[in-house]
């Protein structure tokens, strides 16, 4: 298993982590992701550990705490061997303080997660989304207190825009508080908007990227084909998809190119899509999910090899989207606003 530095921290993480959004199956939305219970979760955790994946990602909102509870039971006896990540911010109830990133909510949310996970500390604690109502200073001060109390070791964010993250980093630096070391962001061959601003920011500020939904809710899992019905057993058909609609012509052209590259490499479409992400700047880790052991084993085949420069460029061309303003304007002046070096590793 390859390990990479997570942002500007001293923490090294495996390039793959296991996401537990499939644990619990609570509510229509998360039921579409999966319905893994404790016995199957233990098998998946064991399979991950045998493969060198000791990083497990969850969130309090996944099935309203059930995913954390199941993961907590699945890792009993191995806490000192793993890296544990969870999140807070989104709604955990209907009362006014049952959501957000206020000190009031975060302290309770952290204590609740510790209890459900049956642990004394969380390695990486994410703000699941930006709270534009609570002052940034209040959020970061509360997180710094939790770090100093030993309840969390590192802080990170998820689903922030560029100014959300930059403002937060600036406030942390101003007061000497803990900084976000990573940004868990949606990024895939179908969703490359992350490259427009968040990736340059991450490069400039040394923030590691943890990728969620790398297969775009299963669209890049290998089951979707032109002129065929959407798989009835997939997340999209069952109502578990996220994000805007994707134009069919763009989508199936990309699938055609993925099939071509998969044929060249002898790998699956999913493995090619994951390996492409591992070649991108700032990416420290990819969160992979699985409803069963077969899916997990297939995803593990994304590491231990690399796409060629020609194959990466072929996939880049097939997945390129016209940027919105101000990025299209900035790209007219590449000497002032150079793109991230996507092919640097091939030039050494």
Alpha-carbon span 315 to 296, nearest angstrom: 24
Whether residue 171 contacts residue 141, with contact meaning beta carbons closer than 8 Å, is answered with no
Could you give phi then psi for residue 51, rounded to 5 degrees? -90, 0
Alpha-carbon span 168 to 160, nearest angstrom: 10
- Residue 71 Cα to chain centre, angstroms: 17
DSSP state of 188: B
Alpha-carbon span 210 to 91, nearest angstrom: 22
Catalytic residue among 3, 62, 154, 327: 62
Pairing between β-strand 16-19 and β-strand 55-57 as defined by DSSP bridges: parallel
**What distances in angstroms separate CA 188 from CA 63, 119, 125, 315, one per listed residue?**
24, 32, 23, 11
Whether residue 82 contacts residue 55, with contact meaning beta carbons closer than 8 Å, is answered with yes
Q: What is the DSSP string of 144-171?
A: HHHHHTTSEEEEEEES--HHHHHHHHHH
DSSP state of 243: S
Among residues 134, 127, 116, 102, the alpha carbon closest in space to that of 64 is found at: 116
Q: Does 121 participate in catalysis according to the annotation?
A: no
Residues serving a catalytic function are 62
């Amino acid at each position: 298993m390859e390990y990479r530095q997570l942002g500007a921290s001293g923490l090294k993480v495996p390039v793959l982590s296991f996401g537990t959004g499939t644990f619990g199956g609570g509510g229509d939305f998360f039921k579409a992701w999966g319905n893994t219970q404790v016995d199957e979760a233990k098998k998946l955790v064991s399979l991950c550990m045998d493969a060198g994946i000791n990083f497990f990602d969850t969130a309090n909102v996944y099935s309203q705490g059930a995913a954390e509870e199941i993961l907590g039971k699945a890792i009993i006896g191995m806490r000192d061997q793993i890296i544990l990540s969870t999140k807070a911010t989104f709604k955990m109830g209907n009362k006014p303080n049952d959501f957000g990133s206020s000190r009031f909510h975060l302290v309770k949310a952290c204590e609740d997660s510790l209890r459900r996970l049956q642990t004394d500390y969380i390695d990486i604690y994410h703000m699941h989304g930006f709270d534009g109502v609570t002052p940034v200073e209040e959020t970061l001060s509360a997180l710094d207190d939790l770090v100093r109390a030993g309840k969390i070791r590192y802080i990170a964010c998820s689903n922030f825009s560029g100014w959300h993250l930059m403002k937060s980093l600036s406030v942390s630096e101003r007061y000497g508080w803990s900084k976000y070391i990573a940004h868990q962001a949606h990024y895939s061959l179908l969703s490359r908007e992350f490259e427009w601003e968040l990736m340059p920011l991450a490069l400039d500020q040394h923030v590691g990227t943890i990728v969620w939904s790398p297969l775009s809710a299963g669209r890049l899992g290998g089951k979707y084909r032109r002129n065929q019905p959407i798989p009835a057993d997939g997340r999209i058909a069952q109502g578990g998809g996220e994000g805007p609609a994707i134009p069919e012509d763009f989508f199936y052209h990309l699938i055609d190119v993925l099939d071509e590259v998969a044929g060249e490499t002898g790998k699956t479409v999913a493995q090619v899509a994951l390996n492409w992400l591992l070649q991108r700047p700032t990416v420290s880790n990819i969160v992979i999910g699985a409803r069963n052991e077969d899916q997990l084993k297939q995803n593990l085949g994304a590491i231990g090899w690399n796409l060629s420069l020609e194959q990466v460029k072929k996939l880049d061309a097939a997945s390129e989207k016209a940027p919105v303003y101000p990025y299209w304007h900035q790209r007219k002046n590449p000497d002032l606003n150079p793109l991230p070096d996507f092919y640097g590793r091939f030039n050494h």
